[in-house]
Amino acid sequence: MQFKKRLQLFFLGIIFIIFGCDATKTIEDGNALDITLNSGRNKKLYLYGYYGEQVNLVDSLVTDAQGHVYKKLSDEVKPGMYQLRFPDGKFIKIILNNEKVALQTEMVNPGGALVFTESVENQKLRKYFTELGTTRGQLVSLSKFLLDNEPDAKDYATSLAKFQDLQQKENQAYAALFNGYEQLLAARYTAFANRPVYDPGQNGKLDFEQFLQKEYWKGKDFSDSTLLNTDAFTTLYLNFLGNFQNRSLSKEEQDENFKKGVDIILKKAGVNNEVFAYSVSFLVDCFVKLKSKEVLAHIGENYLPFVSCTDESLISDLTDRIGQFEKANVGKIAPNFNLPDLSGKMVGLNDLKKDQKLIFFWKSSCSHCKEFILKLNEFGKQNKQKLSGIDVLSISLDEDKSEWENFIHKNPNSWTNCLADGSWNSEVAQDYNVFNTPTILLLDKENTIIGKPKDFVELAMLLK
């Protein structure tokens, strides 16, 4: 009897261990915050998530009478970096990556008093900032001195030796911190956002341009789109573009310099569609703020066409932002042009004499263009009288003339079809600052632009 009872208890224990462990695991799966805020009772805290340089409200928490709060976060909270904001606007950065984050801090100096009692991600990140942050600042300062001076300058040899000693110590400290933890988001974040420094002793003073093109990007994984949910890309890009800013240059020279930086960034970002789209968007924002229309035109002409067509709202938004600097805005006189039609006859804007003119730029490889053309063609068949007072002219940006001709032969229409030699770099595309296809313009009799619809739906509304 005693043996039987012991056996029952044994099996009950096994069941408890199996199901108890599973139950505990289920509770701990996902993200949870366990916060103790000294002198912070009944305080409302806000959790903001990063997407590049943008931060968006994700959740809020309220501490109890003891200054404590625990909250299991929604499964929709993505791995990434977050701001935990306090009522006075101060904040601390934390990483959420499917683990419980337990921390203690205070209201007056939340960053200085911060201690992570649980969370490998944040313990590692905290240690990186507190122990390696000062060293990195010293390396950047020494690197600048070494770049600005010749090897025979006073203190050059001493500064170079100090630089190389600090760099070796930093490398050793970083390895000790993250060896075996390379897959942590904290490790990937610091490896990407960490500002590379230029070692003239190793690279040579004449190799700085090569350093910016190659060495600067070593260890930077552009395929890791999770890093978009941090400020890693923003930090790296701003530091990088700072190398191309030179106050002694004229505006034209400075724009040309910035174009070089833009080209390097976007060629690196091209390995991942989401990272590429974000990078284009970020750079557009930067140069809108700087009012650098030449750099914006460069981005629009060379990179916007390659942003994935699946994100129509992003393409539309980018086109609008770049369009702030367009030469061909609503209310302006449309630039004249002379282009060959299908027969080779030259057609100019001034040859169009009707009360309204509809001009659109397109490519046969653009699915949105094909959709627009088919709808316009059908609209013309059903509304012959309405279109009778409008001159319609299409301008193809196809690089291959045969592709343009084949498309029109397979999809015949009643309007004038022209080809712009040079595609995106053609004179007409430059004059109209065409960054995306289809680009649609509606003109009045005097060639004043009266509308720039984004698609056929908006065009149909203008033609009512």
Give the residue with greater pLDDT, 244 vs 309: 244
Other beta carbons within 10 Å of 71: 16
**Tokens of residue 97, six digits:** 């990556």
- Answer yes or no: pTM beyond 0.75: no
**Tokens of residue 199, six digits:** 């070692």
Residue 32 three-state SS = strand
| Structure confidence at residue 346 (pLDDT) | 94
As a whole number of angstroms, the distance between CA 189 and CA 193 comes to 6
Angle at 181 between CA 180 and CA 186, to 5 degrees: 160
Return mean pLDDT, the chain.
86
Biggest alpha carbon distance in the chain?
Answer: 108
Q: Which residues face 81 on adjacent strands? A: 95
Q: Give burial (CB, 10 Å; 0-12/13-18/19+) of 339.
A: buried
pLDDT (mean) for 70-98: 94
Q: Which residues face 333 on adjacent strands? A: 448
Residue 77 identity: V
Enumerate the domain spans of the chain: 32-118, 122-325, 338-462
If one looks up domain 32-118 in CATH, what number appears?
Answer: 2.60.40.180
pLDDT tens digits, residue range 254-302?
A: 999 999 999 999 999 999 999 999 999 899 888 877 878 788 888 887 8
Contact 187, 175 (CB under 8 A): no
Question: 326: pLDDT confidence band, cut at 50, 70 and 90?
Answer: low
| Structure confidence at residue 23 (pLDDT) | 34
Q: Which CATH superfamily is domain 338-462 in?
A: Glutaredoxin (3.40.30.10)
**Tokens of residue 28, six digits:** 């701990």
- 136-140, 343-347, 415-419, range with the lowest pLDDT: 136-140
Question: 116: pLDDT confidence band, cut at 50, 70 and 90?
Answer: very high
User: Residue 206: is its pLDDT beyond 60?
Assistant: no
Angle at 161 between CA 156 and CA 163, to 5 degrees: 90
